[in-house]
Amino acid sequence: MTAVQRDHRSQVFHAGAWCDAADATVPVGGLALRYGVSVFEGVRLYRRADRSGVRPFLLDAHVRRLGYSLALSRIPDPGIDKIPELVDDLVLRNGIDDDAYLRIAVNAVNPGLMDAEVEPALTISATPMGRKRWLRDGAWEGMRLQVSLWQRACDLAFPSAAKGIPNYGGPRLALLDAKAAGFDGCVLTNAAGRLCEAPTAALFLVRDGELLTPALTEGVLPSITRRWVLDRASALGLTARETVLGRIDAYQADEAFLCGTGLEFAPVRSFDGHAVRAWPDSPVTRALVGRYFEEVRS
């Protein structure tokens, strides 16, 4: 292959047509770049246990949430009902046969002022993606988290239920500050100073055998993986509760973990240097991780 030839495995769907990933561009004058008028979903493709192919996990739930994000962001629907069919086509066109990450985005590609009517473009692409550092190769590496002073934007600033680009600017700065201070990541607080979520993942604490997670009214994105954990808890003999949590709750947790589509699961070993009591045994976290991978491979 010469430098100018295209990679047949890099086909993406963009603005109504299939093209090479390098050609799937958004205009510099478009509203997506000028004002952040863009929403997206990340979806995992998992290889089946019998190696008979890959399948998207919880795709319907992601498509529904994308629809909510479009409505909350006042972006017209570009035809998201076609996404399942397009994902199947993407897998075939790119010969995907192992774990990968789908990014499904809707961008406002037209120029104009802030109040201009939006012309949406749907983009679907895939990138190879296995386990993150915390679970890679059977590892059980716990995150050292900082409880950040940075706050998640409240609903009066931007809808927390919308998975839109504007919601990630502040969390990015919080993550950079945490890493500069020697932590692996951080948990954001909300306007009341209570625990909210990590920049790209939901937070769960375990105390006295009960799963606790900040309620959606705390400014939390309605995470698909978060919902999966809450739905599967009873099958593992656990009780789960959405509630209000503070910094002290994190310091006194028996276990803790982050979860999200891209991250999957990451056990937590400490908050602000306060060790999580059951680390590294983390029996509840291990049970949920085991159940998750049994399900995604089935």
Are residue 38 and residue 142 in the same domain, yes or no?
no
Residue 237 lies in a domain: yes
Q: What percent of the chain has pLDDT over 70?
A: 97
Surface-to-core class of residue 217, CB atoms within 10 Å of its CB (0-12 exposed, 13-18 middle, 19+ buried): exposed
Structure token pair of residue 9: 């495995």
Q: What per-residue confidence (pLDDT) applies to 100?
A: 97
The domain spanning residue 51 has which CATH number? 3.30.470.10
pTM, rounded to two decimals = 0.94
Residue 193 lies in a domain: yes
Are residue 141 and residue 244 in the same domain, yes or no?
yes
Whether the pLDDT of residue 252 is over 70: the answer is yes
Residue that terminates a domain, selected from 100, 128, 156:
128
Are residue 157 and residue 112 in the same domain, yes or no?
no
Residue 2 lies in a domain: no
Residue that terminates a domain, selected from 87, 108, 128:
128
Are residue 252 and residue 151 in the same domain, yes or no?
yes
Model pLDDT for residues 48-95, shown as the tens digit of each residue: 988 889 999 999 999 999 999 999 999 999 999 999 999 999 999 999
Mean pLDDT (the chain) is 94
Are residue 142 and residue 123 in the same domain, yes or no?
no
Residue 163 lies in a domain: yes
| Confidence bin at 1 (pLDDT 50/70/90) | very low
Whether the pLDDT of residue 281 is over 70: the answer is yes
Residue 1 lies in a domain: no
Are residue 281 and residue 152 in the same domain, yes or no?
yes
Residue that terminates a domain, selected from 98, 128, 158:
128
Q: What per-residue confidence (pLDDT) applies to 52?
A: 86
Q: Angle of helix 59-72 relative to helix 83-94, nearest 10 degrees?
A: 120
Q: What per-residue confidence (pLDDT) applies to 245?
A: 98
Number of domains in the chain: 2
- The residues, any chain, with a CB within 8 Å of residue 124's CB and separated by 6 or more, are 12, 13, 14, 83, 86, 87, 90, 102, 103, 104, 105
Are residue 19 and residue 116 in the same domain, yes or no?
yes
The boundaries of the domain holding residue 285 are 136-297
Whether the pLDDT of residue 5 is over 50: the answer is no
Model pLDDT for residues 114-158, shown as the tens digit of each residue: 999 999 999 999 999 999 999 998 889 999 999 999 999 888 889
Q: What percent of the chain has pLDDT over 90?
A: 91
Residue 3 lies in a domain: no
Q: Are 209 and 239 in contact (CB under 8 A)?
A: yes
Query: What are the catalytic residues?
Result: 163
Whether the pLDDT of residue 112 is over 70: the answer is yes
Are residue 101 and residue 158 in the same domain, yes or no?
no
Model pLDDT for residues 28-46, shown as the tens digit of each residue: 999 999 999 999 999 999 9
Are residue 185 and residue 287 in the same domain, yes or no?
yes
* Amino acid, single-letter form, for residue 200: T
Least confident of 49-53, 114-118, 162-166, 294-298: 49-53
